[in-house]
Homo-oligomer: A and B are copies of this chain.
Amino acid sequence: MPDELRAVLDDDAWLRAMLSAERALARAQDQPIGDEVFAADGLVADELLSEGRSAGNPVEPLVRRLRERSEHVHHGATSQDILDTAAALVTRDATAIILAELDGVATACAKLADEQRATVMAARTLLHQAVPTTFGLKAASWLVGVVHARGRLAKSGLPAQLGGAGGTLAALGDKALEVLHAYAEELDLPEPVVPWHTRRLPLAELGAELAVASSFCGKIALDLLLLAQTEVAEVRLPANGRSSTMPHKRNPVGPVLTRACAKHVRAAVSVLLDVEQEHERATGAWHAEWKALSDALAYAGGAASALRGSLEGLEVDAERMRANLGADTLSEAQRFAPEAREPEDYLGSADALIDRALAFYRG
């Protein structure tokens, strides 16, 4: 996981996000209090979380402390309002970092697609050589997937949440809808149509985008690992991993970690996809979200980051790719294109498809 991603997902980040939500609430109501009430100084995230574990959530101990600073805090809100809004803020920060990593992956794929246009290799179906293709086209297909997943993730995100004890905004009086609007605006978060306390589709959808993006990173990682096999040796992966037994061996840690991370994202997202939450607050499904969301964001970032490094440091062995093309693969090609003599004569629209992919990438 990139260090900066770790920093926006740790306990202090959640504390800051909760404070931002409380501050926005106070401001949206023109409460007569200064920013110092919402300062993190003097609050210990660890303590709040520990107390929060027995209280059911960390907002209650936080609000108790804030109320010692001012009576004008948390008016009209329930714990879930603050925690859900904090989740929206944490998600926004984490997503920005994940998107940057995916951008790096896309850039590396685009570079490969363009530079390896003429690099002939075997297309492989069911792990057997089928017909010739190019490494450029392979990278172009990776590129299209990453750009697509990135685009969907960029559009996802959680709205602000404000509903009060039962979702009616009752404690906010006549100005409730204005407060809701100002609150969302203050935080620069989408305003929900109605409070979404047990309508958890945004979380499930965000989770799905993270699962798809990281699983597709896993697909690229898998292709790289297969190409890097001793007997295939068509690429060399940056070998940062070391073996405790075989000191001279260098292990392709990047794609391995990408695949491991993608597994964790899918597992976490299985929790988020089950949005069957009871009435106006769920008995467990809501409480399970924080860890599932944090894990999904952290490991999605980890998957993209590890893959990016692998792609940026990738060494392509074009000669080996060409040499690996089996006689069967060539004669297969000739069956369709009898005039073909070299694999280069059987690449079909590979080049034009690469151009399409690059145009898609450039938007």
Among A31-39, A88-96, A140-148, which stretch is in contact with chain B? A140-148
Contact A243 B326 (CB under 8 A): no
Contact of A278 among B127, B204, B271, B336 (CB under 8 A): B127
Say whether A231 faces chain B, with CB atoms less than 8 Å apart: yes
Residues from 228 to 268 in A contacting B, C-beta threshold 8 Å? 228-232, 240-246, 248-249, 251-253, 255-264, 266-268
Say whether A301 faces chain B, with CB atoms less than 8 Å apart: no
Contact A274 B284 (CB under 8 A): no
Which B residues touch A204, using CB under 8 A? 208, 211-212, 215
Contact of A264 among B212, B252, B291, B349 (CB under 8 A): B291
Nearest CB of chain B from residue A278's CB, rounded to whole Å: 6
Which B residues touch A130, using CB under 8 A? 165-166, 246, 249, 280-281
Q: How far is the CA of A317 from the CA of B144 in the complex (A)?
A: 39
Q: How far is the CA of A212 from the CA of B211 in the complex (A)?
A: 14
| Given A245-B78, A256-B284, A274-B266; A164-B348 close (CB under 8 Å) | yes
Which B residues touch A357, using CB under 8 A? 193-194
Contact A171 B336 (CB under 8 A): yes
The residue of chain B having its C-beta at the shortest distance from the C-beta of A123 within the complex is B166
- Residue among A123, A223, A268, A279 with the highest chain B CB neighbour number at 10 A: A279
Contact B270 A284 (CB under 8 A): no
The residue of chain B having its C-beta at the shortest distance from the C-beta of A234 within the complex is B231
Among A8-16, A53-61, A99-107, which stretch is in contact with chain B? A53-61
The count of residues in chain A whose C-beta lies closer than 8 Å to any C-beta of chain B is 137
Contact B212 A169 (CB under 8 A): no
Contact A125 B193 (CB under 8 A): no
Contact A54 B241 (CB under 8 A): yes
| Given A164-B348, A246-B332; A273-B230 close (CB under 8 Å) | no
Residues from 176 to 232 in A contacting B, C-beta threshold 8 Å? 176-177, 193-196, 198-199, 201, 204-205, 208, 211-212, 215-216, 218-219, 221-223, 225-226, 228-232
Say whether A318 faces chain B, with CB atoms less than 8 Å apart: no
Contact B78 A349 (CB under 8 A): no
Contact of A176 among B177, B337, B348, B360 (CB under 8 A): B348
Which B residues touch A257, using CB under 8 A? 53, 56, 284, 287
Q: How far is the CA of A152 from the CA of B205 in the complex (A)?
A: 10
| Given A60-B242, A256-B126; A216-B198 close (CB under 8 Å) | no
Contact B199 A141 (CB under 8 A): yes
- Interface 0/1 of A329-343, CB less than 8 Å to B: 100110111000000
Say whether A119 faces chain B, with CB atoms less than 8 Å apart: no
Nearest CB of chain B from residue A191's CB, rounded to whole Å: 10
Nearest CB of chain B from residue A15's CB, rounded to whole Å: 15
Residues from 103 to 121 in A contacting B, C-beta threshold 8 Å? none
Q: How far is the CA of A219 from the CA of B204 in the complex (A)?
A: 13
Contact of A165 among B125, B260, B278 (CB under 8 A): B125
Q: How far is the CA of A252 from the CA of B201 in the complex (A)?
A: 26
Beyond the given pairs A226-B279, A266-B270, 8 more chain A to chain B contacts, judged by CB atoms under 8 angstroms and listed by A's residue number, are A60-B243, A124-B279, A164-B245, A170-B346, A201-B212, A204-B212, A222-B277, A262-B276
5 contacts between A and B (CB under 8 A): A205-B208, A219-B275, A221-B283, A231-B324, A263-B292
